[in-house]
């Protein structure tokens, strides 16, 4: 599998309408999201059925993420541990 850049990952993700979240620190935040918008700086999405359904997340710097196919893992800025992973339905 060829690694893709963060910029290419963003371009591919921008064509998606849904994605899955795997939250490594707060498992209750794991689940599907519906894309509201994806730009080069952030992702706005809705968590169906959640008490606070809107989410707004900035893309990480390239040094604070790990890309594996259609998965991007955001790394904690203090210790580099896995924080959460977004899984998009595009071909890896």
Section 45-59 average pLDDT: 91
Domain ranges of the chain: 6-87
Q: Is the pLDDT of residue 1 over 60?
A: no
The CA distance from 85 to 25, in Å, is 11
pLDDT band at 59, cuts 50/70/90?
very high
Q: What is the pTM of this model?
A: 0.91
Interior angle at CA 40, CA 1 and CA 85, nearest 5:
50
Q: What is the pLDDT of residue 43?
A: 96
The 10s digit of each residue's pLDDT in 21-38 is 999 999 999 999 999 999
Measured in degrees and rounded to the nearest 5, phi and psi for residue 28 equal -70, -10
Q: What is the pLDDT of residue 50?
A: 84
């Amino acid at each position: 599998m060829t690694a893709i850049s963060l910029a290419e990952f963003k371009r591919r993700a921008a064509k998606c309408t849904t994605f899955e979240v795997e939250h490594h620190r707060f498992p209750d935040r794991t689940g599907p999201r519906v894309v509201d918008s994806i730009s080069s700086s952030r992702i706005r999405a809705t968590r169906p059925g959640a008490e606070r359904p809107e989410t707004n997340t900035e893309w990480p710097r390239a040094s604070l993420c790990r890309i594996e196919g259609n998965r991007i893992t955001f790394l904690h800025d203090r210790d580099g541990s896995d924080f959460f992973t977004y899984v998009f339905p595009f071909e890896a």
